[in-house]
Amino acid sequence: MLHVSGTQLVADDNTPVRLRGVGLGGWMNMENFITGYPANESSMRHAVRSVLGEERAELFFDRLLTSFFTEQDADLLAGLGMNCVRIPVNYRHWESDERPCEIDPRGFRHLDRVIGLLGERGIYSVIDLHALPGSQNQHWHSDNPTHVAAFWQHRHFQDRAVHLWEALADHYRDHPWVAGYNPVNEPGDLTGKVIGPFYDRLVKAVRAADPRHILFLDGNTYATDFSIFREMYENTVFVLHDYALAGFAHGGPYPGYTRGEWCDRGELESTFARRSRFQRETGTPLWVGEFGPVYTGDPDVDAQRYKILRDQLDIYDGQGAGWSLWTYKDVGLQGLVHAAGPYLDRFGDFIAKKRRLGVDRWGSTMEESADVLAPLHALVETESPGWEPYPWGARYQTDDLIRHILMAQALLPEYAELFRGLDDGELTALADSFLLDRCVRRQPLLDLLADNLAPR
């Protein structure tokens, strides 16, 4: 079982272990750009259930969980030389809003299976609660149908999160291939005043249930602000996220300018130094919980994105930092592999429509439907020039409200209708499109990672 020793993670025999791997996004916490639906997960599931009914919707979603990660996926990651998978999960697998604080043990079934597959191959798991009751941040990936992170406004939601983590920690307390717990992904506490006391409370509760596993704690404002920590907890990694501006969908050339900001190797290095200052000043381990560019399909642009990734990995190597690349498998934007077959045949045109409208926050260039939205942005800037909403300002907030919430939610019925009329075999075939042997491998990315992870 791993533990923290100064700036390193070490095994029981004090051998240093640098965790390097990938995030299993879109699996037990589904995301719109990863599996091709619009809006947020719970809204999507409700729309699909309205078409398929409860039992047949469960058939599809359970089969998707089974097919999305199997022995073959674990073999691929082990073959690349990875020793860690960060596993995002949604609280709804264990608890419903209708029956708060009642833990459903069925939530452990798939998570136990995958943690076991990885452990058999010498790969550690970091369990990442990506969606908390009430939503801990303002965006779709916390299963948030609004732009309000209500988790920080209601003690009730916080109580439920602590209770869930007590159950998770008790369940995995003796598992040697669980590296630890990442209890709050990318928190977005608007005030910055609630998160510190909440972490104090959460750490005590988890330690009471499981005194040995490492805690991986994200900083506030999407794992970038560590000023909220009031004390240094033992056996803890303070997790930073390190997405490069030039690697976003709207990123410019690399090296070059993105929205007026220069980005090159030197800028990546200085950005990482700034984002990791807290860890270096406190003498705690460096671990990048998320990072990685998105890909466009344009060979010239994607070659620049690979260069960004190569430079970031080189910077992390130079600092001895561990990392977890986002993300393993999707429908083509960012994954090491992406689905093909019946799922893309069925939903490909819809995914293209989403891309044309820019309704997925992750993957939007922020220029889609510019003829309609540009006047709205101009109106907001003219009438409310001092408006700087948390977390990223007026331009992003307007896009989130109009494009990524309103327009995305309006597309939910269209997505769900694509399931209508399918028999059980066809639903199974859709889910099985995510089996590794039916996926397309992003070979340049796999080669890049294998080269970085190769023993020196």
Tens-digit pLDDT profile for the chain (456 aa)?
999 999 999 999 999 999 999 999 999 999 999 999 999 999 999 999 999 999 999 999 999 999 999 999 999 999 999 999 999 999 999 999 999 999 999 999 999 999 999 999 999 999 999 999 999 999 999 999 999 999 999 999 999 999 999 999 999 999 999 999 999 999 999 999 999 999 999 999 999 999 999 999 999 999 999 999 988 999 999 999 999 999 999 999 999 999 999 999 999 999 999 999 999 999 999 999 999 999 999 999 999 999 999 999 999 999 999 999 999 999 999 999 999 999 999 999 999 999 999 999 999 999 999 999 999 999 999 999 999 999 999 999 999 999 999 999 999 999 999 999 999 999 999 999 999 999 999 999 999 999 999 998
Task: List active site positions.
Answer: 186, 290
| Of 393, 327, 405, nearest in space to 364 by CA | 405
Sorted by where each starts, the structural domains of the chain and their CATH numbers stand as: 3-453 (3.20.20.80)
Rounded CA separation 361/111 (Å): 27
Neighbours of 230 (CB within 10 A): 9
Reported pTM: 0.98
Between helices 299-319 and 265-275, what is the axis angle to 10°? Answer: 50
Contacts of 68 (CB under 8 A, 6+ apart): 26, 27, 329, 434
The vertex-391 CA angle with 385 and 397, nearest 5°, equals 55
Asked whether 250 and 216 are in contact (CB, 8 A), the reply is no
